[in-house]
């Protein structure tokens, strides 16, 4: 049995999702995670392993990096882990020495269900001709310039104009 869609309630917002929507969303998150994971240094991967296996009191930035300073190498490491959807600064949204380090729910689910090795391995290459269920971007709209603006206005007026012998309906 399959469910045609699921409604997710977030505060005052309800978002309906189909299985295809969920696959595209989680697939995109996993692609982002893997894109950054493949460029993490060994020490950053060790740090991530430490964060993911930590139990007990909340980890803080200072607990991970006693000499933390913004724009330093530790800060860049935390930014990379955040870009990969693994962690985020829990309280203020900024990496500061006393900021709690939180694991994203997506990272926890993937780490526990899929495992570190599969996260860090390259994604499988789909066979040729296989459609990938990713949303397609909207078509690009032509650029409006001063040179073509008047022409566009005239064309729009023509399409809205009422021809002779027709009555305008209100």
93-146 pLDDT tens trace: 889 999 999 999 999 998 888 888 888 877 666 666 655 556 666 667 667 677
How far apart CA 34 and CA 32 sit, in angstroms, is 5
**CATH code at 6-122:** 1.10.10
Cα torsion 112, 84, 29, 87 to 10°: value is 50
Position 40 scores a pLDDT of 86
- Integer Rg of the chain from CA: 25
Residue 100: φ, ψ to 5°: -70, 140
85 within 8 A of 52, measured Cβ to Cβ: no
62-85 pLDDT tens trace: 999 999 899 989 999 999 999 888
Name the DSSP letter for residue 89: E
Per DSSP, the three-state class of 88 is strand
| Greater model confidence, 63 or 10 | 63
In this prediction, residue 19 has a pLDDT band, given cuts at 50, 70 and 90, of: confident
- In our burial notation (b when 16+ CB lie closer than 10 A, e otherwise), range 37-66 reads beebeeebeebbeebbeeeeeebbbeebbe
How far are the Cα atoms of 1, 5, 8, 18, 29 from residue 15, in angstroms, in the given order?
Answer: 22, 10, 5, 10, 18
22-58 pLDDT tens trace: 888 888 888 888 888 888 889 999 999 999 988 877 8
Q: Is residue 1 over pLDDT 50? A: no
In Å, the largest CA–CA distance within the chain is: 83
Helices 105-113 + 42-53 axis angle, to 10: 90
Residue 89: φ, ψ to 5°: -75, 115
């Amino acid at each position: 049995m399959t469910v045609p869609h699921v409604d997710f309630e977030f505060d005052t917002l309800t978002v309906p999702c189909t299985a295809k929507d969920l696959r595209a969303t989680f697939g995109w998150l996993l692609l982002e995670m893997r894109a950054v994971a493949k460029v993490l240094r060994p020490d950053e991967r060790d740090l991530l392993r430490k964060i993911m296996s930590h139990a007990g009191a909340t980890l803080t930035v200072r607990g991970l990096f006693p000499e933390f300073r913004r724009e330093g190498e530790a800060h860049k490491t935390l930014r990379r882990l955040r870009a990969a959807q693994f962690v985020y600064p829990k309280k203020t949204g900024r990496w500061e020495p006393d900021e709690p380090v939180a694991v994203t729910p997506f990272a926890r689910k993937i780490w526990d269900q899929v495992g570190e090795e599969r996260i860090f391995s390259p994604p499988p290459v789909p066979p040729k001709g296989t459609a990938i269920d990713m949303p397609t971007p909207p078509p690009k709209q032509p650029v409006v310039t001063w040179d073509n603006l008047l022409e566009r206005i005239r064309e729009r007026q023509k399409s809205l104009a009422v021809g002779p012998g027709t009555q305008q309906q209100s």
